[in-house]
Structure 1
């Protein structure tokens, strides 16, 4: 586990049919780091926390019977944006690990560069140089 110096104010939370495979893909292809991982007796993921920079995403397995699992039943894919400085390097890592790229690295009209990938269960991950809130603080 790594030390998190400041807890994120917003933390996307996803559920997966195969949360262990999701953890593998997010760490190997997309460069996340496992901060915490708790398993149920059957080996499914009860709760995992993965960090990337100063952000974090939480995830777990579908079918656990928890209140969150019940509320998320039938939920569809989500989209998550992650800020990266080196879009092309990050993209190369994702391709190397077999990620499904749905949009290659692209320069945007608003000055950012980004790409999109779909994870094993249909969630869309956008990685780019855009920094939310930066324009307001400039």
Structure 2
């Protein structure tokens, strides 16, 4: 495995994984793998989407019987991007609600925060930890 390989994948649980797939693609994620309960027509049980600037997310449709399944709408994600204003605009156009408009952070870079259509908090920022 190379030093640039992504080794951390946030996992999410959605009430409506198809709607959230559309939202994630609208802000710039691209599908890598999507597995459904019934071929191409069932609910999403596992999906992997890539962020073009590095990394990705995994998610599925919420299953209350799965003890490993997180609660929908309770996650907070920090997403590094070179285009904070553009990502914010795309997120809002696709149904997100602005929590905090674009600001210059004291520790460096711009950031903005939204709630996605299911209530998860996403902060888009230029600051790259490391």
TM-score bracket, normalised by the shorter chain, equals 0.7 to 0.9
SS of corresponding position for 1:104: strand
In structure 2, the partner of 1:61 is 61
TM-superposed deviation, 1:72: 2.4
Contact 2:48 2:59 in 1 (8 A): yes
Q: Which of 16, 19, 30 does residue 17 from structure 2 map onto?
A: 19
TM, length-normalised to structure 2: 0.85
Alignment map for 1:1-138 (pairs within 5 Å): 7-28=5-26, 30-41=27-38, 43-52=42-51, 53-63=53-63, 65=65, 69-72=66-69, 74=71, 77-133=74-130
Preserved CA contact (<8 Å) 1:46 1:64:
no
Does structure 2 retain, via aligned residues, the 8 Å contact 1:117–1:125? yes
TM-superposed deviation, 1:96: 2.4
- Please state how far the C-alpha of 1:7 moved relative to its aligned partner: 4.0
For structure 2, the 5+ residue unaligned runs are: none
- Per-residue CA deviations over 1:64-101 (Å, capped at 9, x if unaligned) read 85xxx322265761111111001112222222223211
Higher helix proportion: 1
CA deviation vs aligned residue, 1:24-75 (integer Å, no higher than 9, x gap) = 11111x211111111112611011001102201000011285xxx3222657
Question: Structure 1 residues 95 and 19, CA, compared in 2 at 3 Å: closer, same or farther?
Answer: same
TM score, norm. by length of structure 1 = 0.81
